[in-house]
Amino acid sequence: MTVSAVRVRRPPRPGGPPGRRGRFGVHAFLLAVSLAFLAPLLLAVYASLRPYEETARDGYFSLPDRLSFDYYRQAFTDSGMGRHFLNSLLITVPGVLITLFLASFTAFAVARLRLRGSLVLLMVFTAGNLLPQQVIVTPLYALFNKVPLPYWMSDSLTLYDSLWAVLAVQVAFQLGFCVFVLANFMRTLPPEILEAAIVDGAGVWTRYRHVTLPLCRPALAALGTLQFTWMYNDFLWGLVFLSTGDKLPVTSALNNLRGQFFTDHNLLAAGSVLVALPTIVVFLLLQRHFIAGLTLGANKG
Partner 1 sequence: MNRTTGGRPVTPPKTVAPRPARRRGPRRHTRRDLAVLCVLLGLPVLLDLALVWGPTLASVALSFTTWDGVGDIRWAGLGNYADLFADYPRFWPAVRNNLLWLAALGLLATPFGLLLAVLIDRGVRFSRFYQSTLYMPVVLSLAVVGFIAQLILSRDQGALNALLGRQDNPVDWLGDPDLNIWMVLLAACWRHTGYVMILYLAGLKSVDPELKEAAAIDGANERQAFFRVVLPALRPVNVIVGVITVIEALRAFDIVYAVNKGRNGLELLSVLVTDNIIGEASRIGFGSAIAVVLLLVSLGFIITYLVQELRGEQRR
Do residues 166 and 235 lie in contact, with contact meaning Cβ atoms separated by under 8 Å?
A: no
Q: Which of 5, 67, 119, 196 binds partner 1 (CB under 8 A)?
A: 119
Q: Does residue number 128 form part of the binding site for partner 1 (CB under 8 A)?
A: yes
Q: Does residue number 133 form part of the binding site for partner 1 (CB under 8 A)?
A: yes
CA–CA gap between residue 216 and residue 127 (Å, rounded): 23
CB of 267 to partner 1, least distance (A): 11
Q: Point out which residues pair with 148 in neighbouring strands.
A: 158
CB of 69 to partner 1, least distance (A): 18
Q: Does residue number 252 form part of the binding site for partner 1 (CB under 8 A)?
A: yes
- Among the residue ranges 64-72, 78-86, 216-224, 288-296, the one whose residues contact partner 1 (CB under 8 A): 288-296
Q: Which of 68, 77, 244, 287 binds partner 1 (CB under 8 A)?
A: 287
Q: Does residue number 262 form part of the binding site for partner 1 (CB under 8 A)?
A: no
- Among the residue ranges 64-72, 74-82, 89-97, 169-177, the one whose residues contact partner 1 (CB under 8 A): 169-177
Q: Does residue number 220 form part of the binding site for partner 1 (CB under 8 A)?
A: no
Helix axis angle for 163-187 and 133-146, nearest 10°, is 130
Q: Does residue number 195 form part of the binding site for partner 1 (CB under 8 A)?
A: yes
Which lies closer to partner 1 via its Cβ, residue 52 or residue 90? 52
Which lies closer to partner 1 via its Cβ, residue 63 or residue 151? 63
- Among the residue ranges 29-37, 76-84, 89-97, 210-218, the one whose residues contact partner 1 (CB under 8 A): 29-37
Q: What is the DSSP string of the chain?
A: -HHHHHHHTS-SSSSSPPPHHHHHHHHHHHHHHHHHHHHHHHHHHHHHTS-HHHHHHH-SSS--S---SHHHHHHHHHTTHHHHHHHHHHHHHHHHHHHHHHHHHHHHHHHHS--TTHHHHHHHHHHHHHS-HHHHHHHHHHHHHH-B--TTT-TTSBSTTSHHHHHHHHHHHHHHHHHHHHHHHHHTS-HHHHHHHHHTT--HHHIIIIIIGGGGHHHHHHHHHHHHHHHHH--HHHHHH--SGGG--HHHHGGGGS-SS---HHHHHHHHHHHHHHHHHHHHHSHHHHHHHHHHHHS--
CB of 202 to partner 1, least distance (A): 10
Do residues 276 and 250 lie in contact, with contact meaning Cβ atoms separated by under 8 Å?
A: no
Interface with partner 1 (CB under 8 A), residue total: 106
Q: Does residue number 43 form part of the binding site for partner 1 (CB under 8 A)?
A: yes
CA–CA gap between residue 67 and residue 48 (Å, rounded): 9
Q: Does residue number 37 form part of the binding site for partner 1 (CB under 8 A)?
A: yes
Which lies closer to partner 1 via its Cβ, residue 151 or residue 280? 280
- Among the residue ranges 21-29, 65-73, 149-157, 213-221, the one whose residues contact partner 1 (CB under 8 A): 21-29
CB of 85 to partner 1, least distance (A): 14
3-state secondary structure of 152: coil
CB of 133 to partner 1, least distance (A): 6
Give the contact letters, 62-101, x = binds to partner 1 (CB under 8 A), - = no: ----------------------------------------
Which lies closer to partner 1 via its Cβ, residue 151 or residue 251? 251
Q: Does residue number 196 form part of the binding site for partner 1 (CB under 8 A)?
A: no
